[in-house]
Structures are given as C-alpha cells and as structure tokens.
Amino acid sequence: MELLICSQTSIPGPFCAAKLIYFGNMDKKSTKKILLLRFEVHKMEINRQKIAEHINLPVMKMVGSVADELHRECYVVGGYVRDIFLERPCDDIDFVTVGSGIEVAKAVAKRLGKRAHLSVFRTYGTAQVKTRQWELEFVGARRESYHRDSRNPIVEDGTLNDDQLRRDFTINAMAICLNNDRYGELLDPFDGIGDLERRIIRTPLDPDITFSDDPLRMMRAVRFATQLEFDIYPETFDAIARNAERIKIITRERIAEELMKIMRSSHPSRGWLLLDKCGLLPLIFPELAVLKGVETVNGRGHKDNFMHTLQVLDNVAAVSDNVWLRWAAVLHDVGKARTKRWDAQQGWTFHNHNFIGEKMVPKIFAKMRLPLNEHMKYVKKLVGLHMRPIALVEDEVTDSAVRRLLFDAGDDIDDLMTLCKADITSKNQNKVQRFRENFDLVKQKLVDIEEKDRVRNFQPPVDGEEIMKTFGLAPSRPVGYIKDAIKDAILDGVITNDYASAHRLMIDKATELGIEPIHNNDICFTATDTPVGRLFVGATSKGIAFIGWEEDVLKSIAKTMKLNAVEATTPLLDQCVKQLGEYFNGARHEFSLPLHITGTDFQMKAWEELQGIPYGETISYGEQAARLGNPKSSRAVAQANHRNPICIVIPCHRVINSDGTLGGYAPGTDKKQALLDLEKEHKDAQATVVVK
C-alpha cells in the first residue's frame, strides 16, 4: 500500500522538496517520523512566510532591481536576516554584492533621488544610503586574512561563500538573494536557523581562528548571548577562554560599545557573568572582578560583592531603562575591595567604600573610554550618595537629614532611591521586610519635606554675590562662611527656605564677624512704576522700611529713624522691586521680605495681624480688633493701619468697614480700590484655570 505523506513543495533555497512514500502498515516509529516530518515542513512554511513579509518591501525590490541592471549578485545579510526569524524590528539593512558594493550604493541613491543621502567609505570598500526610514549599508563580498598583532584584516574580493565564511557567528552568516531569478532564496550554509532554534551562539569555522583573527568577536559573542538570552556553544565558549588575552589588542572604545549594548539588555548580569566565566572580565574591568569571592575569618564571612552587585544591577534593570543608572548599580560597591577590613568585634567592614568608589568612577570611565561628561558625574554622584538613604532607613529619620539628602541629590533623588531599593538583597527576609518598610517611610518623608521646604536643587535665597554687595567684600572666607551658614540653617530646619529669613541670618552672621553693611547708617531708596502709580521703596540694612507713593513721607521716616535718605540700589531693594512686580503680575500672593519698622506695641501687633489676611480677601476693622483681643478697639486699629509705613506688603488695604464700604486709606481710597480689584481679578483668573 502506498501512502503519500507530503506532496512536493516549491519552497525556494534550503526549504527543499519533501516527498515520502511508505509501504505496508506503519508502526509507531514510522508514525513518529511522519509527524516530525510534517512539523519540519510546517516550520519551513512559516520561515518562508517570515522571509516574504520582510523582503517583499519596496526598498528590497528596488535594490534587487538596481543589482540586476548592473548584473550584480546582491544579498541582504547579517542582522536583518537573523532578526527576521527572531521577529525583532531592524531598520539597518546590510547588503553584500559580488563586485563593487559602492557602485550598487551609488545607483540605489540615484534611484531614490533627493530623499537619500549617500556616504562612501572607500578605505573600507563600503557605502551607506540613508533615508528617513532606512539605513542601507553596501559592501562587496570579500575574503579576509589577519596578522596576529592586529584585528584589521587584509581584504580581497571574494564570492558570497567567502563572505559568509568570514562572518562571526552562524546566526549572522545567513543571506537572502534579491536578484529577480532567485528572489527570496535563503542561503544558510552553517545552519544559522538551527542555531536560532537551539538558542546558541556558534562560530561558522574553527572558533580559535575566528577569535584570534578578530578578538572583538569574543565580546560580541557575550553581547549576543546576553541580548538574545542564548547560550554560547561549549566549543565556542572554550575558545574564548583560550584566546581571552587577545582582547588586549582591541581598542577600549570598541570594548565600551559592546559593554553598553550588554548594559542595555533585559538581564545585563548575564553578560557580566559570562565575561567573568570566560576570563575576559579581569582584563577589561579588573575593578569589578576583584569584588568576586568570599573571605572567611573565625567562621565569619562577608557576602560575595560581585554577585551582590549583579543582583542590584538586575533589580535596577527590572524597573529602569536608564543605562547610566545601571552603571551606577555596577559601580556602587566598587570601592569595597580597597576598604575591606577585618575587625574582631564588628567582623568584616567596608567603611567609606561609597566615598572611595566615588573617587574611582572618573578613572574607571576614563580607562574604559566611557564618556567623561554629565553621565560620568551622574554615576559618580549616585555612587557617593548610595549609602545615605540606607543610613536613614537604619536610623531615626530626621527632617534635617532628609533636607540634606534632597539638596545633595537634587533632580537625581528618584534615581538614587531606585538604586538604594535595589541594593536591599539580604537573604534574611525579616531584615529585608524591615528595611523596605522603613524605606517607604523615608520616601514619604522625602515627598513631605520637598513639598514643605522646596530644597531639591535649591540655591540659598541669599547668594555670595548679594553678600559681597551688601558688605562691600571681595571673594573671601567670610563670604563663604556666611553663605554656608545660611545653607546649613535651611537644611537643618533652623530657618525656613525664604528670602526674609535668609537675609536676617546674613546680617546676624556678619555682625558676629564684626562686619557692617555699606549702608549701615542709611535708608536707601528707589522708585518703580506700577499699575497703581509710581511707588517709592526704602530699606535699611536690616529690612524694608517704607513702601508708598510719597517720597517726602519716606524721608520723614528716615529722619525719625535718624538715618540718611540715600537714593541708591541695593540687593534688598532689588529683591523688593522684583517681588512687587510679581505681585502686580498675579504671580505672587505672599511676600518674603525682611521688614524694619518702628511703632508702638499696639501698632506693631496690628501690622503683624494684617500680614495674616489671605490674598484677595478682606476683613472689617472690628474683626481685626477682635483678633487683637479687644473688639472695641476698631478706631485704634484704623489709626494704626493709617500709620502703616509699608503699603501692599503689610496689606492694610484688605481691611474695610463692616458695612462693606472701603473706609480710610492713607494713600487714598482710589489706591485701595485699585489694589482690591487687582487681587480679585488675579484670584478669579487663577480659579478659572483650576476649574478648567
């Protein structure tokens, strides 16, 4: 009896025809063979469909057409073909032509017209055609030979077979023909598809020759194994170990390129483990290799810092694609080898390993040819700070410590916290749970402090320039002392993070040093135009003494205070004018200015109470009197407000009669109405924005 299992197919290239004839009754073994054959043919059909999907593109047909016109064999090769079967996107397409690749590239660029950019690299016999969508690389088929002391090959023209033989790995040695008479034919002489299915990295030829000729291929083997999560074929892996020393002839820049690709993979620890196992790691990154191993004294050992580092790296990679945060994970404990000490009481210690590691980062980046720009500074910062949140977890969380952490980390605080959470890798689950609970407490504290004190990336409200101008100082130690005192006071919660508090502390610290302001005996004043007229602003060295519409009143106040009225600009006056401008533009609802005013005890209390009236709201004179503890003193309150020397900042315009009429206002009720209208307008506008 004849049974036709699979009729002959017309699949091109390696997908050969399949026709089997069985006679007689079939046993289980034969049935299994039939099923396996059906499965293989089904896979062939799937692969044929995958190829068709990726080469039936206008750009492919156009390249094939150009090659036919030039009578050139032309193939798409390498990563693009590999990624067809891995179902990965690929916008870079490599073409091999038998003959001049540059000639084909020029013709392709001419066919594409203005939308294509052609670059020719005659030294290497290659050319690139770039469009918005594609990068097309062209090279002529070639054979290569090498000198032992260089990875730069001696190149000769060759056949497609020669070109496939020189490829690094079987999965990269496949080619698909684009010529019309063989369009879509797959040439896979080393079973690259099989290796994709087996998920292995293997060289087409003797791996010792492959890696000795071009040692960078050892790094590429590790990189592909990491990216694709493949295994390296045992014979291939053993050859890497035998040839590891050859990596020394490869430039650091090329090694860095491969390391960056490893670091961007889903599980970068896989690459570092492979580099360690094959012997490449001590040659390219000895500072990481020395972290490996556990030393024991009196039965007490420490964790394997190499394996811990890789765990932290994968923890970071699981939540972030930021490759420089991943580098921070790799380097966060790099200082431990240099700081490891045995203490009979404490056991193994690594004191200050974060600071030592921070200092090592620039040298490591320089040696490995990683960028010495803001990326290096970012990694350096995180390495130096990575113990700080952990210390907060272990100790009581104080506002001061949180402020300092926010200040030092700046915009990188979130990444630092990601790194530190990834650093919790203890096998003691109770300890891990306790750390994580405290860690969440620290994170919430960071949010609360940042909302309240705004210290992330903050610059002290009073800077060195203002200190020098106020006291007539050149850059000097006293300037730095006063500036640091202000910063530390804010971070320690001694003063709030605002201009008024910082200015007062500046004056106090200068007084301690015996330093007096330039205008210590003056009221300096200036004028500024506003929507409610020209305002005069006067200030002593201690604070704002006058804001109003009449210069004569300012000079009268100066006389009362036994100070000279001097028309001049000072940093304090500049700050006041700036804040007034923000007020009139609707950008500021509260002022932060040091005030220097004198009056009776009742007046001072009344003026202080005025500063508590919210922007855009009003109270009556009776309400103000009640708040001062004497509801019957509304007349006295009105008189105190009338004598207020600092309009707007001390908002006496927000106090009106109980019947809703404006009541008195020293500068005039028109000014009072204008200020109330302005505040209402800005408040209503803001409310409208919030509703939207």
| Boundary (domain end) residue, out of 471, 500, 516 | 516
How is residue 517 annotated by DSSP? -
Q: Where would I find the H helices in 204-280?
A: 207-213, 216-228, 234-243, 252-263, 269-277
Return the pLDDT at 394: 61
| Boundary (domain end) residue, out of 493, 516, 539 | 516
- With respect to residue 549, please indicate whether it lies within any of the assigned structural domains: no
488 with 344, same domain: the answer is: no
Q: How far apart are CA 542 and CA 489, in angstroms?
A: 19
**CA torsion 573→576→578→581, rounded to 10°?**
-130
Q: How far apart are CA 647 and CA 649, in angstroms?
A: 6
Between residues 460 and 333, which one has the greater pLDDT? 333
With beta carbons less than 8 A apart as the criterion, state whether 566 and 523 touch: yes
Per-residue CA distances from 290 to 267, 322, 336, 361 (Å): 22, 26, 9, 16
State mean pLDDT over 319-328: 97
CATH code at 88?
3.30.460.10
133 with 277, same domain: the answer is: no
State mean pLDDT over 57-76: 94
| Residue whose structure tokens are 């007349």 | 635
Question: Does the pLDDT at position 6 exceed 70?
Answer: no
pLDDT digits (tens, 9 = 90+) for 249-272: 999 999 999 999 999 999 999 999
Question: Does the pLDDT at position 51 exceed 90?
Answer: no
- With respect to residue 222, please indicate whether it lies within any of the assigned structural domains: no
Of 146-150, 212-216, 404-408, minimum mean pLDDT range: 146-150
C-alpha R_g of the chain: 38
Q: Which amino acid is at 506?
A: M
Residue among 74, 278, 647, 652 flagged as catalytic: 652
319 with 436, same domain: the answer is: yes
Element (H, E) at 3: strand 2-4
Total domains, the chain: 5
Provide the percentage of residues in the chain whose pLDDT is more than 70: 89
Q: How far apart are CA 141 and CA 494, in angstroms?
A: 74
Residues ≥6 apart with Cβ < 8 Å to 271: 222, 223, 225, 226, 259, 262, 263, 265
Return the pLDDT at 53: 82
266 with 301, same domain: the answer is: yes
pLDDT band at 54 (very low <50, low <70, confident <90, very high): confident
296 with 419, same domain: the answer is: yes
CATH code at 685?
1.10.10.10
3-state secondary structure of 474: coil
- With respect to residue 596, please indicate whether it lies within any of the assigned structural domains: no
pLDDT digits (tens, 9 = 90+) for 646-688: 999 999 999 999 998 998 888 899 999 999 999 999 988 876 6
State mean pLDDT over 634-645: 90
Q: Which two tokens stand for residue 384?
A: 């130096």
Q: Where would I find the H helices in 332-373?
A: 336-339, 353-367
36 with 173, same domain: the answer is: no
Tell me if residue 6 is catalytic.
no
Task: Produce one character per residue of 392-427: b if its CB has 16 or more CB atoms within 10 Å, e if not.
Answer: bbeeebeeebbbbbbbbbeebbebbbbbbbbbbeee
Task: Produce one character per residue of 114-134: b if its CB has 16 or more CB atoms within 10 Å, e if not.
Answer: eebebebeeeebbbbbbeeee
pLDDT digits (tens, 9 = 90+) for 235-250: 999 999 999 999 999 9
Q: How far apart are CA 233 and CA 240, in angstroms?
A: 11
- With respect to residue 613, please indicate whether it lies within any of the assigned structural domains: yes
Q: Which amino acid is at 130?
A: K
State mean pLDDT over 322-333: 98
Task: Return the closest-CA partner of residue 160 out of 172, 146, 171, 174.
Answer: 174
pTM: 0.75
State mean pLDDT over 626-638: 90
Return the pLDDT at 22: 38
Task: Return the closest-CA partner of residue 519 out of 536, 541, 546.
Answer: 541
466 with 385, same domain: the answer is: no
pLDDT digits (tens, 9 = 90+) for 88-131: 888 789 999 998 999 999 999 999 998 899 999 988 889 999 99
Question: Does the pLDDT at position 47 exceed 80?
Answer: no
147 with 98, same domain: the answer is: yes
Q: How far apart are CA 553 and CA 559, in angstroms?
A: 10
State mean pLDDT over 387-411: 80
Return the pLDDT at 2: 31
pLDDT band at 42 (very low <50, low <70, confident <90, very high): very low
Q: Which two tokens stand for residue 558?
A: 């100066």
Q: Which amino acid is at 433?
A: Q
Q: Which two tokens stand for residue 552?
A: 């004569």
449 with 469, same domain: the answer is: no
311 with 401, same domain: the answer is: yes
pLDDT digits (tens, 9 = 90+) for 365-392: 999 999 999 999 999 999 999 998 877 7
Question: Does the pLDDT at position 1 exceed 50?
Answer: no
Domain extent at residue 71: 57-198
- With respect to residue 145, please indicate whether it lies within any of the assigned structural domains: yes
State mean pLDDT over 156-163: 83
Return the pLDDT at 147: 58
**CA torsion 544→545→550→553, rounded to 10°?**
-170
pLDDT digits (tens, 9 = 90+) for 513-533: 999 999 999 999 999 999 999
Task: Produce one character per residue of 485-521: b if its CB has 16 or more CB atoms within 10 Å, e if not.
Answer: bbbebbbeeebebbbbbbbbbbbebbeeeebebebee
- With respect to residue 574, please indicate whether it lies within any of the assigned structural domains: no
Return the pLDDT at 691: 44
pLDDT digits (tens, 9 = 90+) for 165-184: 889 999 999 999 999 999 99
With beta carbons less than 8 A apart as the criterion, state whether 528 and 535 touch: yes
Return the pLDDT at 20: 37
Return the pLDDT at 46: 57
Return the pLDDT at 39: 47
Burial level of 23, CB count in 10 A (0-12/13-18/19+)?
A: exposed
Return the pLDDT at 396: 66
Return the pLDDT at 10: 32
Relative orientation angle of helices 101-112 and 58-69, to the nearest 10 degrees: 120
State mean pLDDT over 341-367: 93
Q: Which two tokens stand for residue 403?
A: 């402020």
Per-residue CA distances from 460 to 402, 627, 643 (Å): 17, 35, 34
Instruction: Write the DSSP assignment of 526-570 as a string of letters.
Output: EEEEETTEEEEEEE-SSSEEEEES-HHHHHHHHHHTT-EEEE---
Q: Which two tokens stand for residue 539?
A: 């200030």
pLDDT digits (tens, 9 = 90+) for 547-606: 999 999 999 999 999 999 999 999 999 999 999 999 999 999 999 999 999 889 999 999
| Boundary (domain end) residue, out of 411, 435, 453 | 453
pLDDT band at 8 (very low <50, low <70, confident <90, very high): very low
State mean pLDDT over 327-346: 94
Of 41-50, 60-69, 350-359, minimum mean pLDDT range: 41-50
Q: What share of the chain is helix, strand, coil (3-state, %, to 5)?
A: 55, 15, 35
State mean pLDDT over 309-318: 96
- With respect to residue 577, please indicate whether it lies within any of the assigned structural domains: no
Return the pLDDT at 23: 37
How is residue 350 annotated by DSSP? -
Of 10-19, 456-465, 593-602, minimum mean pLDDT range: 10-19
286 with 189, same domain: the answer is: no
Mean pLDDT of the chain: 88
- With respect to residue 204, please indicate whether it lies within any of the assigned structural domains: no
372 with 404, same domain: the answer is: yes
Q: Where would I find the H helices in 19-127?
A: 28-55, 58-69, 79-86, 101-112
With beta carbons less than 8 A apart as the criterion, state whether 682 and 660 touch: no
Per-residue CA distances from 662 to 272, 611, 615, 621 (Å): 77, 18, 17, 10
